[in-house]
Amino acid sequence: MRTGVCTTDFEHQGEPLRSADSLFAVIRNFGFACVQFAFSSIAETGFVPTGEIEIPAVIPYAATVEADRAAARYSLPIEVINGTFNMAHPDPAVREEGLRRFALLTEAGEAVGAKYISLCSGSRNAAHLWTWSPDNDDPDAWDDMYSTISRAVEMAEKRNITLAIESEASNIIDTPENARRVMDEIDSEHLKMILDCANLFHKGTAHPENVQAVIGHAFELFGKDIVIAHGKDIREGDGIDFCGTGLGIVDFGFTADRLREAGYTGDMFLHGIYEEADMPRALAHWNRFVQ
């Protein structure tokens, strides 16, 4: 199991983006072996994500070429590309625009050799795709998300790219049960799972005594369908307070063991670190469990 990193952890508010070459050089220097890549992470796209869609409206050919060259130059394969937009947005026009951009992204993903595209099931919160709305539980919200994911899967099948969704407390797919449901209903080998243990906790549950039960339950429901693993962490408390790998309550040793038991053959992408000075510590923490 290689250890990679999400390139969004190198996007810093108020600071200029690096070129693809500079970004991949920094990531290689930290000792990572692969990446989950977002086109918002490099200067060549000139794109700033919105709360609705995190895919550029246009993906310049030069940006794809530079990302591919940098990945090869620094031996950092792009295994995953971020394809997140609000797949349950209450405005159909936003969902349609997200799908239009997603079609372009599948072309770019194929060009850089990515195996997977990450998804966000979305929220009825119109302002931000990662923010809860009480309308998320409405049957219409599920139906809109289901229709959007189904169309994205059709696009991915044509490119032989697998899509990966995650259980996230603020989204429509907010439990392992809903993750299992959407995979069973769509029934495609091109829709699988991201395991992000920090995202499995709901408000009031992020306490050490719950950790192994919460993570173990996810493995029971979708362990064999995990194709991407994220190394984000969550601090103890009654709220949801994400943090860098090893700074919270996630039991990464238990997680590594369960991934092996599930026959996981993919990589671990550290995520949620953001402070570059903390990258070596986070990498060393995870590597304790895989070396």
C-alpha distance across the termini of the chain, in Å: 9
Domains for the chain: give ranges and CATH numbers.
3-287 (3.20.20.150)
C-alpha pair distances (Å), 51 with each of 33, 71, 114, 119: 30, 28, 25, 14
Where is 220: in which H helix or E strand? helix 211-222
Predicted confidence at residue 13, as pLDDT, reads 81
Predicted confidence at residue 64, as pLDDT, reads 97
CA 221 from chain centre, in angstroms, equals 19
Q: Which amino acid is at 141?
A: A
Where is 259: in which H helix or E strand? helix 252-261
Q: Is 275 exposed, middle or buried (0-12, 13-18, 19+ CB in 10 A)?
A: exposed
144 vs 90: CA distance, rounded Å? 8
Closest CA to 54 of 87, 22, 24: 87
Predicted confidence at residue 14, as pLDDT, reads 81
Which residues does the chain have with pLDDT short of 70? 291
41 vs 34: CA distance, rounded Å? 15
pLDDT tens per residue, range 153-185 = 999 999 999 999 999 999 999 999 999 999 999
DSSP calls for 207-248: SGGGHHHHHHHHHHHHGGGEEEEE--EE-SBSS--EESTTSS
253 vs 258: CA distance, rounded Å? 9
Predicted confidence at residue 230, as pLDDT, reads 98
DSSP-derived letter for residue 134 is G
